[in-house]
Amino acid sequence: MSSNTPFTLEANPGTDIWRKPPTTNVWNAPISRTSTGLLKKFQSARVTFWASWTERYDQAGLLLVPRSATSTPPTTEAPEKWVKTGIEFYENQPQLSTVGCDRWADWSVSPLTRAVDPEQGVTLEARREGDENGRSVWVYQLVLDKSGEVVERLPLREICWILADEDEEQVLDVSPLVARPERNTTSQLSVEFKEFSVVWD
């Protein structure tokens, strides 16, 4: 699945994807435009986007949800495992963010080291990789030239568990992500996506 046609997604206040002990388990962000395939055939997913970030934890990017091939796609029920990566508005600035959830969620956040032109947006990629130690999904911020070619991949995080069960006919749901966890506002978060593409083998 590949789309270079820009589109806009919106999230209402109080929407999020997050799980924190002992009892927090939120799964109410709007999910759409999902691309689904066998996990073992997943190669990469890329998204380019930007927004007017104003509220703490405003977020957008990619969402990856592995699940059994016999299960139904996640809707209102929180799945057991998931990964989200993109931009999150934290400490009054947009920052690179990746969250992996396997039982409970963890979170890594780092500052944008390259200036972002709002007209061009930021591009994130999750891609299958492997070496002598095994296989994993690496998350990168991509630096593109004016023609859209990748000139540099800035590594953000390696996620190993997501491919652990790929030989058991697992599928993967890949979606663009948008959420606005802040409840004390009445406005929606509007995110312009310039690209959302998924490559399956």
- Tens-digit pLDDT profile for residues 9-50: 999 999 999 999 999 999 999 999 999 999 999 999 999 999
Identify the three-state secondary structure at position 104. strand
Q: What is the CATH number of the domain that holds 131?
A: 2.60.120.200
Q: How many other CB atoms are there within 10 angstroms of residue 6's CB atom?
A: 13
Amino acid at 113: T
Domain count for the chain, please give it.
Answer: 1
Token pair 């963890």 is at which residue? 106
- Tens-digit pLDDT profile for residues 148-170: 899 999 999 999 999 998 888 89
Q: Residue 74: its pLDDT value, please?
A: 63
Q: How many other CB atoms are there within 10 angstroms of residue 115's CB atom?
A: 5
Could you tell me the pTM of the whole model?
0.94
**Residues in contact with 61: Cβ distance below 8 Å, sequence separation at least 6, in sequence order:** 47, 49, 84, 85, 86, 87, 97, 124, 176, 177
Q: Which domain holds residue 96?
A: 2-200
